[in-house]
Amino acid sequence: MKNKYQDKIDRFMDYAKMRNANEPEFLQAVKEVAEAVIPYIEENPKYQGKKLLERMIEPERTISFRVPWVDDKGEIQVNRGYRIQFNSAIGPYKGGLRFHPTVNQSILKFLGFEQIFKNALTTLPMGGGKGGSDFNPKGKSDAEVMRFAQAFMSELYRHIGPNIDVPAGDIGVGGREIGYLFGQYKKLTKEFSGVLTGKGLSFGGSLIRPEATGFGVVYFAEQMLKDKGMDIKGKVVAVSGFGNVAWGAITKANQLGAKVVTISGPDGYIYDPEGISGKKIDYLLRLRATNNDVVAPYAEQFPEATFYPGKKPWEQKVDIAMPCATQNELQKEDAENLIKNGVIAVVEGANMPSTPDAIKIFKEAKILYSPGKASNAGGVAVSGLEMSQNSMRYNWTAEEVDAKLKEIMKNIHNNAVKYGKQPDGWVDYEKGANIAGFVKVADAMLAQGVV
Ligand code: NDP
Ligand code: 2IT
């Protein structure tokens, strides 16, 4: 089906490519938004002639800096740090920090761009941003992680603040790293504030923040199924990754009566036909804490499971797929396998885990497919709730935060349905989420003039 506005989309993408050559991940994220939003702009004159998309794809500010630090052997190491302050139309810049050797400007721009729309969908007042470093946490000692985090914050602190830009975690950045970053910010500024989210509970963190992204993914899946008169209970689920998001998703899926049969790492995947539950979920945390980046030991620990080296979980027959590892981890042939095996729903936990080819296959098959910016927004939503609690100098209970998270995920779902429902009743969640996020940010930009 050719888009009526394809020429306009192509022209816009030529412009984006010209200005962002050599940034494939960023261009991939821009194209997804352009394909949904350009037709909407064409049909809604209020958004025309204002260069809204041209402005949105240009970060308000890009900061790149040197991060020198000394390792345990006394050797000097040099990493590169970034913060992309993408859009502040609806609130302070907000988004995670990623520490991974693959980090570069293209990846952080794609993540920061996605964050604009995701944060708008949460209904909370947060702009979009992202940052990180090419620092590789693998095999690093605790002392090395601390020295790196302190060196990173020694520059970043100049650019952030509780009303300016509020970073959080992402791949390679969890509670430990946020603690070290917070300590250094406090030392340099003499200020105890909600400048970061994902903090420890004893210094301003919110209950349920560690679980929030994964819980939100499962709440979103629940809504999608409910919309079709189905229940998540009894469904078989494939999860990829074994990090923070995977852990939260597996925990909640079990609580709601689903069976999770896979996890994965860079070394391959684990298939556990008995389901990953109970003490096996706790084992994931230990596996992660070894800093070795492998899932193979799971099969030694639990002999009923099989380890498939170098493979991805998408070859298994499951009802629901939840990619929770990283970008572009679910490709065309994986999508074909999932469809062949009768998958009902693909609910993204990671950011942009499905390639455009894979998404096309899901859409043609008219299964339930949700992009990360809608289904993984629970993490940043609870970050927003952490900011609120810090401002109030008050803490909500786990039940209160969880109830708000559930409500937010329901709102995101309904908002995506509002803009994504097709004449035949099938919901294009990708289109719906992109337009819903765009409308909120575009209205704020229009009201604030050309700034
Ligand atoms: P973690 O660091 O806790 O876990 C990341 C997982 O993905 C690990 O299993 C990791 O293995 C794997 N992974 C990372 N990079 C690669 C790669 N290049 N190739 C193969 N596997 C890889 O991160 P999170 O769980 O926090 O993040 C997972 C995804 O969810 C990311 O896409 C992130 O952007 C997204 N997300 C995170 C949120 C949060 O609140 N933390 C919120 C919303 C989205 P390894 O490190 O061994 O490579
Ligand atoms: O991708 C994401 O939404 C995150 N990594 C969480 C960001 C946040 O500010 O909590």
Give the CATH number, domain containing residue 268: 3.40.50.720
Atom of ligand 2 nearest to the CA of 115: 3
Task: Please tell me the number of the ligand nearest to residue 327's CA.
Answer: 1
Task: Please tell me the number of the ligand nearest to residue 371's CA.
Answer: 1
Backbone φ/ψ region at 173: left (φ over 0), alpha (ψ -120 to 50), beta? beta
Q: Ligand 1 atom 23: the closest Cα is on which residue?
A: 171
User: Has residue 408 been placed in a domain?
Assistant: no
Q: Whose structure tokens read 């629970």?
A: 378
Task: Please tell me the number of the ligand nearest to residue 267's CA.
Answer: 1
- On the question of pLDDT at 414 being above 90, the answer is yes
Say if residues 130 and 111 touch (Cβ distance below 8 Å). Answer: yes
Round the average pLDDT of the chain to a whole number and report it: 97
pLDDT band at 431 (very low <50, low <70, confident <90, very high): very high
User: Has residue 434 been placed in a domain?
Assistant: no
Q: Both 104 and 66 in a single domain?
A: yes
- On the question of pLDDT at 1 being above 60, the answer is no
User: Has residue 357 been placed in a domain?
Assistant: yes
Q: Both 71 and 164 in a single domain?
A: yes
Q: What does the pLDDT read at residue 290?
A: 86
| Separation of CA 171 and ligand 1 centre (Å) | 4
User: Has residue 178 been placed in a domain?
Assistant: yes
Q: Both 366 and 218 in a single domain?
A: yes
Q: What does the pLDDT read at residue 291?
A: 82
pTM of the model: 0.97
Q: Is the CB of 400 under 6 A from ligand 1?
A: no
pLDDT tens profile 325-365: 999 999 999 999 999 999 999 999 999 999 999 999 999 99
Q: Cα separation of 30 and 192, whole Å? A: 37
The structure tokens listed for 125 are 């007042």
| Separation of CA 430 and ligand 1 centre (Å) | 21
Strands 320-322 and 345-347: parallel
pLDDT tens profile 238-260: 999 999 999 999 999 999 999 99
Q: DSSP H helical segments within 290-397, as ranges?
A: 297-301, 332-340, 356-365, 372-375, 378-392
For the chain, how are helix, strand and coil distributed in percent, rounded to 5? Answer: 50, 15, 35
User: Has residue 288 been placed in a domain?
Assistant: yes
Domain boundary among 325, 353, 370: 370
Q: What does the pLDDT read at residue 236?
A: 98
Q: Both 217 and 362 in a single domain?
A: yes
| Separation of CA 236 and ligand 2 centre (Å) | 27
Q: What does the pLDDT read at residue 275?
A: 98
Q: Both 157 and 291 in a single domain?
A: no
Say if residues 317 and 293 touch (Cβ distance below 8 Å). Answer: no
Q: Cα separation of 359 and 236, whole Å? A: 21
Domain boundary among 141, 161, 192: 192
Strands 306-309 and 345-347: unpaired
Q: Both 145 and 246 in a single domain?
A: no
The structure tokens listed for 150 are 């302190």
User: Has residue 202 been placed in a domain?
Assistant: no
Q: Both 339 and 298 in a single domain?
A: yes
pLDDT tens profile 91-139: 999 999 999 999 999 999 999 999 999 999 999 999 999 999 999 999 9
pLDDT band at 411 (very low <50, low <70, confident <90, very high): very high
Say if residues 434 and 33 touch (Cβ distance below 8 Å). Answer: yes
Ligand 2 binding pocket (C-beta < 6 A) is: 94-96, 118, 168, 170, 197, 351, 379-380, 383
Among residues 152, 58, 149, the alpha carbon closest in space to that of 109 is found at 58
Task: Please tell me the number of the ligand nearest to residue 353's CA.
Answer: 1
Q: Both 335 and 221 in a single domain?
A: yes
Atom of ligand 2 nearest to the CA of 98: 5
Q: Both 261 and 179 in a single domain?
A: no
Q: Is the CB of 379 under 6 A from ligand 1?
A: yes
Say if residues 42 and 67 touch (Cβ distance below 8 Å). Answer: no
Q: What does the pLDDT read at residue 352?
A: 98
Pocket test for ligand 2, best of 380, 385, 409 (most atoms within 8 A of CB): 380
Q: What does the pLDDT read at residue 292?
A: 84
Q: Ligand 2 atom 10: the closest Cα is on which residue?
A: 380
At 238 the three-state DSSP class reads strand
- On the question of pLDDT at 293 being above 90, the answer is no
Among residues 225, 222, 226, 305, the alpha carbon closest in space to that of 263 is found at 305
Q: Both 179 and 229 in a single domain?
A: no
Average pLDDT over residues 405-434: 98
Active site residues: 130
Q: Both 353 and 287 in a single domain?
A: yes
Q: Both 255 and 305 in a single domain?
A: yes
| Separation of CA 408 and ligand 1 centre (Å) | 23
CATH (domain of 76): 3.40.50.10860
Say if residues 16 and 57 touch (Cβ distance below 8 Å). Answer: yes
Q: Is the CB of 213 under 6 A from ligand 1?
A: yes
If one counts the domains in the chain, the total is 2
% the chain with pLDDT above 90: 98
Average pLDDT over residues 199-215: 98
| Separation of CA 292 and ligand 1 centre (Å) | 14
User: Has residue 382 been placed in a domain?
Assistant: no
Atom of ligand 2 nearest to the CA of 114: 1
User: Has residue 54 been placed in a domain?
Assistant: no
Domain boundary among 327, 343, 370: 370
Q: Ligand 2 atom 4: the closest Cα is on which residue?
A: 96
Q: What does the pLDDT read at residue 40?
A: 98
Q: Provide the domain limits for residue 271.
A: 212-370
